[in-house]
Structures are given as structure tokens and as C-alpha cells.
Amino acid sequence: MNIIGAVIVLLAVVALVGAWTLRPLLQHVAGPVPNDFSSTGFDHSSFELLLQRFVTADGRVDYARWHADPTARDQLSRYLSAVAKFSPENHPERFATAEERTVYWLSAYNAQVIGAILARWPLSSVTDVKAPIEVVRGLGFFYKLRFEFGGEMLSLYDVEHRFVLKGAQDARVHFVLNCGSASCPVQRPKLPSGADLEPYLAQAARDFVSDQRNVSVDHGKKQVVLSKIFDWYKSDFLDEMSRRGQARTRGLLGYIALIAPAELAAQLEAARDYDVVFHSYDWSINSGVHE
């Protein structure tokens, strides 16, 4: 076999391995849409009530108690059946505003994450859901699993990038999406309506940066220590600064100062010449016990 032939064979093998690694694992919802589901709009109240029952005061999820309650699992399944049937893509008439579309994708994403964890409970980490070859961490859970949204099978990665970020045009959605892990933004027990999305995102952003696990200033070491989320999505946050008419040259600390409470913003201003370092990400399940 000549060199060209060998290269062709190698490329074919690589393509087959890639196709095998990334082949979708479809997650279908068992159960019908509730009979009383509204014929207009999209009602998230059943999911919100479940969150209020099973989300702890510090934003963790009591998966063990939720999993042990068949009625609660069925209620989530019925909500996910509505997510599977209706979306802003196939039923735009149900989502009159951009805010309502964003609320759908945020809520549906978080609900699918919880549903996937409950289906595999007990689970130590979402990274335990593996692709045949785990090229990047989380490939199995966030890329390989496909969930139904409005009749279309999508990965969580697709939903985040194609619909949440692109639709909202607001980097603060990163502080609401919950990936089921300890270093994720907390799971909030209340969901926004379309009308209150702006204050909801503002509060989520303030809460996230006010948590010293996500943003802390060490004046002794002249360091600002940030959540890895700021590293992974740096371009989204800097793009947000541009949309707000701020200079991207202020960097991540400039962005955080924009969304932070005044005291933290002042600390960041004093630390503008400090080194920025990032926490390692804790992928353990964000499980807790609801009191």
C-alpha cells in the first residue's frame, strides 16, 4: 500500500471512530403531555413546584428524595413531555416574546439535566456518563445524550449554544443554566416569567459573583480567583461588555464589576492589576438534602 492509500485508510478509521464516539444516544420521555396543559403559551408551573419541593436553600437538588417519589418523577416526566412536544421552533405562536423563548430554553435545559440524573440515580458525577471515547470531559452527558425539544433531538450543548446564548444575546444566562455539578451556578427554585427575565438574570449574576467560591480577591497574593466558567466562556462575557458599550480591554474583572454589588465592584477596581487565576471545576453531583 502506498503512502496516499495508507493516509486514506487512516482518515477513514479516524472518521469511523469519530462517528462511533459521537453517535447520539436518544433520551425519549415516557408519558403523555398532561391533559390540562394550556392550549396557549407554555406553562412552567409544574416544574417550578417540583423545584420548590426538592431544591435546598443553598441551591442543591435533593435527587435521592425526588427519585424515591414516583409521583414527583411522573410530574417531571409530564413536564418534559410538554417540552418534547412544544418549543419556540415548532410552535412559535406559543411564545410571543423573545423573553418567553429564552425562559423556555433555560427551564427546559435545567429540567432535562435533572431528568437525566434521576434516570441514572445514584450518580456521582455527570462525567460518569461516558462516550465510547471521552475526547473531552463531559462528552457523554453534554454532547452524546440527545433530548427532545419540540420534536427535535438535541444535545445539551446544542441547546446552550444554538438557542439559549444565541436567542438571549445575554451572557448572564451562564449564571442560570445548571449542569448538575457542584461548581455550576446554583439551581434556583423559582423560574422567571417572560416579563421578569431581566431582574431574574441580574439577581442570578449578583448571587453568582457574590459567592466567594466563584469570585474572590486575595490582596496578599495580588490575585483574583474566579470560577472556571469565566475562563470557558470568556468571549461571551467580553462580547456582553461590547453590547453594553464598555471597552473589552477591561477584561473579565471589568465585566464582573458591571454585574457585581458595589462593595465587590470596588474591590475589583482596586485589584485591576492583579493576576487572574481560575478554580479547578468540581464535577461532583450538586446533590443536597432538602429540609
Residue 35, pLDDT score: 83
CA 66 to chain centre: 20
| C-alpha span between 20 and 60 (Å, rounded) | 34
Pairs from 267-273 (Cβ < 8 Å, separation ≥ 24): 267/217, 268/217, 268/224, 270/217, 270/219, 271/217, 271/219, 271/222, 271/224, 273/222
Residue 9, pLDDT score: 45
Contact 204, 172 (CB under 8 A): yes
In this prediction, the residues of the chain whose per-residue pLDDT falls under 70 are 1-22, 134-135
Whole-structure pTM value: 0.91
Provide the residue type at 237 as one letter: F
Using DSSP bridges, classify how beta strands 152-154 and 215-218 pair: parallel, antiparallel or unpaired.
unpaired
Residue 21, pLDDT score: 55
Q: Give the pLDDT confidence of 13-55 residue by residue, as tens digits.
A: 444 445 555 678 889 887 788 888 999 999 999 999 999 999 9
- Tell me the β-bridge partners of 105: none
Q: What is the mean pLDDT of the chain?
A: 91
Residue 31, pLDDT score: 76
Residue 6, pLDDT score: 47
The phi, psi pair for 218, rounded to 5°, reads -110, 95
Residue 32, pLDDT score: 84
